């Protein structure tokens, strides 16, 4: 794989692993620095999604599977199960609502931002032939992503008092970044469930597992099996009249307009559609998705065996959070 293709792959993957990761970042200091932006996005989502809020349901494959139940080993550790994440979401939403009501505000539960970070279709750029024929390279949960970002008719901005009740105050950190002070209902609800205001990102060992996530992807893309499979994909695309060296290149050529809600009603260009259809066919012909999953699963099993302490720490904290969520919902 060329250096260009590798760079493109990393750019795409950084979005694909978590479509909403710009809200909370991959590292603690990045999340703090973007807190004001995060708060604005959450307010928009709160107002735009009151008729269809996220309650733990998801698009096919959004639980870290490929839609057929296949889950990467790391996802099984970091995400437990879709049922558990739904439970955590509902419990935190209840606590947040109760807190806001106690402070005198009618509150519509916003989309839950600690959503799944593993989606295999997004991770590897996979899409069905039928989807490609209508939507090109847009991800298969494109509409829900646009809505969750809060771009679709966000409505009026809540009052300053409401924002303070929800998010608290921002405080200056030693590194010069801003972070919530923990007095807002958002932080208080998350802390009661997860033990920290940054939800799973507050877990000891979580950062180590995020590093493993990046490492496993890089090793997968560099493996001889994947390189050979992508070379066959490139030959297939050449036969179809397209000149690409890796499956990541056309996705970079036709970026998804996430900042433009009008794209929900606009069909991609004919060039994008034709390329995406050929891409989907060539991926299917070479069983590319299956190869990605098989190779990365083996890579992750080895990495997890080498980092048992972080795995056990995250599993223990996840179990504790689930138990606290059950207690909240049983009241």
pLDDT over 70 at 218, yes or no? yes
Tokens for 187?
């932080």
For all residues of the chain together, what is the average pLDDT?
78
Q: Residue 27: its pLDDT value, please?
A: 39
Confidence of residue 109 (pLDDT cuts 50, 70, 90): low
Q: What is the mean pLDDT of residues 81-100?
A: 91
Q: Calculate the CA dihedral of residues 183, 187, 190, 193 and round it to 10 degrees.
A: -10
Share of the chain above pLDDT 70, in %: 72
Q: Which residue has the tokens 């932006």?
A: 37
| Contacts of residue 129, Cβ cutoff 8 Å, sequence gap at least 6 | 277, 280, 281, 284
As a whole number of angstroms, the distance between CA 4 and CA 142 comes to: 26
pLDDT tens figures, 131-175? 999 999 988 777 766 666 555 555 677 888 998 999 998 888 888
- Considering its fold, how many domains does the chain have in total? 1
Whether residue 2 is predicted with pLDDT greater than 60 in this model: the reply is no
- The pLDDT assigned to 165 comes to 93
**283 pLDDT exceeds 90?**
yes
In contact, 325 and 112? CB cutoff 8 Å: no
Phi, psi angles (nearest 5°) of residue 322: -65, -40
User: What's the pTM value of the predicted model, to 2 decimals?
Assistant: 0.74
Give mean pLDDT, residues 215-222: 97
User: Is 117 within 8 Å of 78 (Cβ atoms)?
Assistant: yes
Q: Kindly report, residue by residue over 3-43, the tens digit of the pLDDT.
A: 433 333 333 333 333 333 333 333 343 343 333 333 444 44
Which has more pLDDT, 290 or 70? 290
Range of the domain at 94: 3-330
| Confidence at residue 299, expressed as pLDDT on a 0 to 100 scale | 98
3-state DSSP assignment of residue 45: helix
């Amino acid at each position: 794989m060329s250096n260009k293709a590798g760079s493109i792959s990393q750019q795409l993957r950084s979005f694909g692993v978590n479509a909403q990761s710009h809200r909370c970042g991959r590292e603690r200091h990045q999340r703090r620095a973007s807190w004001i932006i995060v708060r604005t996005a959450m307010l928009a989502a709160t107002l735009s999604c009151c008729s269809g809020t996220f309650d733990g349901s998801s698009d096919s494959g959004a639980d870290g599977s490929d839609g057929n139940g296949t889950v990467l080993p790391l996802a099984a550790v970091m995400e437990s199960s879709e049922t558990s994440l739904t439970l955590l979401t509902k419990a935190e939403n209840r606590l947040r609502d109760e807190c806001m009501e106690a402070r005198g505000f009618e509150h519509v539960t916003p989309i839950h931002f600690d959503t799944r970070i593993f989606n295999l279709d997004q991770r590897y750029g996979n899409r069905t032939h039928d989807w490609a024929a209508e939507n090109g390279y847009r991800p298969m949960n494109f509409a829900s992503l646009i809505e969750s970002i809060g771009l679709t008719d966000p409505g009026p901005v809540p009052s300053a008092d409401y924002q303070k009740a929800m998010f608290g105050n921002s405080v200056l950190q030693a590194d010069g970044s801003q972070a919530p002070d923990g007095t807002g209902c958002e932080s208080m609800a998350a802390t009661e469930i997860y033990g920290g205001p940054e939800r799973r990102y507050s877990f000891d060992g979580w950062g180590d597992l995020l590093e493993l996530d990046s490492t496993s992807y890089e090793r997968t893309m560099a493996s001889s099996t994947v390189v050979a499979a992508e070379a066959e994909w490139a030959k297939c695309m050449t036969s179809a009249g397209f000149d690409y060296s890796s499956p990541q290149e056309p996705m970079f050529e036709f970026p998804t307009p996430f900042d433009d809600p009008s794209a929900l009603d606009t069909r991609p260009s004919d060039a994008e559609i034709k390329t995406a259809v050929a891409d989907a066919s060539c991926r299917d012909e070479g069983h590319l998705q299956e190869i990605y999953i098989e190779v990365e699963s083996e890579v992750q099993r080895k990495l997890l065996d080498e980092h048992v302490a972080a795995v056990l720490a995250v599993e223990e904290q996840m179990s504790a959070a689930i138990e606290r969520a059950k207690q909240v919902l049983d009241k």
